[in-house]
Amino acid sequence: MDTCEELMKYLAAYGDGELTEELADRVGRHLEVCERCREEYAGLAAVTALYRESAPPAVPAADWERVSTALETSMSEVREPRAQVRERVEGRRFLTWRLFPAAALAAAVLLVALFVVLPTGRAPAEAYFAEVDDIETGPDYEYIVRLPASDDDFLVIDVVSVE
Amino acid sequence: MAADGAPEERTTDEELVTKALAGERDAFRELFERYRSRAYRVAYRFLGTREDSLDVVQEAFIKAYRGLEGFERRAKFRTWLMRIVTNTCLDLRRRGRANSATTSLTDEIIQMTPQESQPHRREETALDKMAYGELQQALSRALDELSDAHRTVFVLHTEEGMTYREIAESLGISEGTVMSRLYHARKRLQKILSNAGVL
């Protein structure tokens, strides 16, 4: 026979219909014979019922309209910046390649250095130039690659206009 | 009803989420219409004032819209949204921005018209306007005395009608923990409300 202490913690879940069939049967049988647990069960159920029956005050239509408008504004703000960002990135890319080829070249050299040369160990400066020469950059710029002096040092790429 | 007389099938939340992600704002508007009242009732149980609760609903739906791309379909939209709502409520309380329910609630309800003050789930209530305000105040005070963990589980279950499993999924806890928290939350509320003469 189950004791009150064993089943007390299940009373609320029993009322919620959240127990397994086997456990619900045990609690149900216990409630039939135990007045103390019936009172406990009724008290817990009354709390839930009180909150459910005392719904919060209704919201006037004008207040919902205000919330709805704010959401609409927010949705517009979310979508538009995404489009704007795309345009800005494209614009910056255009400017970068057209007006600042030196910077673009530096980035290209860095990529070559990092992904082609450095993984094979420190290479002579000529190796960098050999790789960089494969990139079509136009005749107006020179680049100087300085190897890092130590493992803690940086690879430096200077790009200089010759115009 | 559809033109051929067959019952019209309601678009599921999942379908609406998919459409919203494809850029159909009407789909998200539909989700807002479906869940705004539920979100409001949950928020109200945390905050105790209509104004703060509506602010939370607004903020929660905006967060949901902005975070829709990160929504994992393993959970239901409803449980995901309610987690946003409860977190937004808890944040507001922690920041101390929410009005104290115990000081502002009565004034707010007193200012309502009789029609506005009626609980919107029932056509009629035995409570007159002032008694309704006092009751809401007592219920809010009692909830204020619970821990965040207990209050969250109680509100999601009692106000939103979420199952233990849904609450467990929403909060990332076990169903056993949900059951335990719900039991202790009710016991505490029972004692508080009894002492206050409400129960």
Residues B5-11 have a mean pLDDT of 70
Q: What is the pTM of this model?
A: 0.68
Distance from C-alpha of B58 to C-alpha of B141, rounded to nearest angstrom: 24
CB contact under 8 Å between B136 and A57, yes or no, is yes
Residues facing residue B119 across a β-bridge: A57
Question: DSSP states of A2-70 as a string?
Answer: --HHHHGGGHHHHHHT-S-HHHHHHHHHHHHH-HHHHHHHHHHHHHHHHHHHSPPBPPPHHHHHHHHHH
Inter-residue contact A160 to A144 (CB < 8 Å): yes
A152 band by pLDDT with thresholds 50, 70 and 90: low
Size of interface A-B (CB pairs under 8 A): 113
Q: Would you say residue B183 has pLDDT above 80? A: yes
B151-174 residue pLDDT tens: 999 999 999 999 999 999 999 999
Which residue stretches of B48-100 are H helix? 50-66, 77-95
Using a CB-CB cut-off of 8 Å, the residues of chain A touching B32 are 68, 71
Enumerate the domain spans of chain A.
Answer: 4-53, 57-99, 100-161
Q: What three-state secondary structure class fits B154?
A: helix
CB contact under 8 Å between B119 and A67, yes or no, is no
Using a CB-CB cut-off of 8 Å, the residues of chain B touching A54 are 119, 132, 135-136, 139
C-alpha distances out from residue A151 to A108, A110, A125, A147, B152, Å = 22, 16, 16, 10, 54
Q: Of the given ranges (B13-17, B21-25, B63-67, B71-75), which has the lowest mean pLDDT?
A: B71-75
Q: Which of B92, B13, B11 is nearest to B53 (CA)?
A: B92
Count H helices and E strands in chain A, helices first: 7, 2
So what's the pLDDT on residue B9? Answer: 75
Enumerate the domain spans of chain B.
Answer: 12-99
CB contact under 8 Å between A59 and B54, yes or no, is yes
**Structure-token match 């005749």, residue found:** A139
* A1 Cβ neighbours under 8 A, 6+ residues apart: none
The segment with the largest mean pLDDT, out of A123-132, A148-157, B88-97, B139-148, is: B139-148
Compare A156 and B92 and report the one with higher pLDDT: B92
Q: Would you say residue A17 has pLDDT above 80? A: yes
> Which of B52, B104, B190 to mutate to probe the A interface, most A CBs <10 Å?
B190
**Structure-token match 């909830």, residue found:** B143
A76-84 long-range contacts, Cβ below 8 Å, gap at least 24?
A78/B65, A78/B66, A79/B23
Q: Which of B138, B116, B143, B132 is nearest to B43 (CA)?
A: B143
CB contact under 8 Å between B116 and A57, yes or no, is yes
Q: Would you say residue A39 has pLDDT above 80? A: yes
> Which of A14, A50, A78 to mutate to probe the B interface, most B CBs <10 Å?
A50
Inter-residue contact B101 to B171 (CB < 8 Å): no
* B38 close contact with A: CB closer than 8 A: no
Distance from C-alpha of A91 to C-alpha of A73, rounded to nearest angstrom: 26
Residues of A with CB under 8 A from a CB of B: 9-13, 16, 18, 43-44, 46-48, 50-60, 63-64, 66-68, 70-71, 74-75, 78-79
- In CATH, the number for domain B12-99 is 1.10.1740.10
B110-131 residue pLDDT tens: 444 444 444 444 434 335 444 7
